[in-house]
Structure 1
Amino acid sequence: MDKMIFDVLLVAMLIVSAVLVISILMQPSKQDGAADAFSGGSGELFERRKARGFEAVMQRFTAITIGIWLLLGFMLVVLSTK
């Protein structure tokens, strides 16, 4: 029984990992601020801008996916020690 649960969790971990990579790659880039920081620009590196629209949805989705990924990883570790 434990082997079946472990296999299901492992497959879920692989699927969540793929979704996580895709969600990270879909997030809009913020290269404008990084270029200003290295060239001595206006100092926008440490300013926090509130995410809106698609960017906010992607940030929340990525955070939730990371939480699920960590939970699955913890569950796999616990099952593998039995």
Structure 2
Amino acid sequence: MTVMNIVLSVIDIILALAIIVLFLVQEGNDRGIGVVAGGSSDSYYSKAKGRTLEEQLKTWTVICSVLFAIVSVVLYLSIARAW
């Protein structure tokens, strides 16, 4: 393996671990049957605070996923074509 393949492999592994951690840190959207009944005990502040953090986590998950896909394709091409 060339140095470029090793570097791409390490970046690929780091991105994969980042995606796993970001996915596990996110809260689920499942609020149970209370959503159907209309019951909600959350205040506006807690909703807005959670949404902001949740949106940031979702954004970083998407960014890491796209980078992971790009690096994986480049790594595959570099190994297959022996760059």
Shorter chain as normaliser: what TM range? 0.7 to 0.9
| Greater RCO (CA < 8 Å, at least 6 residues apart) | 2
**Matched residues in 2 for 1:77 and 1:55: separation?**
33
Q: 1:72 aligned to 2:75?
A: no
Q: Counterpart amino acid of 2:56?
A: V
Q: 1:53 aligned to 2:55?
A: no
How many residues are paired up?
Answer: 68
Q: Deviations over 1:39-72 (max 9, x none)?
A: xx73xxxxxxxx8210000010000000110011
Which structure has the larger Rg over C-alpha atoms? 2
If the length of structure 2 is used for normalisation, what is the TM-score? 0.72
Extract unaligned runs of 5+ from structure 2.
Answer: 37-49
- Dislocated runs of 4+, deviation >6 Å: none
What pairs with 1:1-82 in structure 2 (closer than 5 Å)? 3-32=2-31, 35-36=32-33, 42=36, 52-82=51-81
- Of all paired residues, the percent bearing the same amino acid is 16
When the two chains are superposed, the root-mean-square deviation of aligned CA atoms in Å is: 2.0
If the length of structure 1 is used for normalisation, what is the TM-score? 0.73
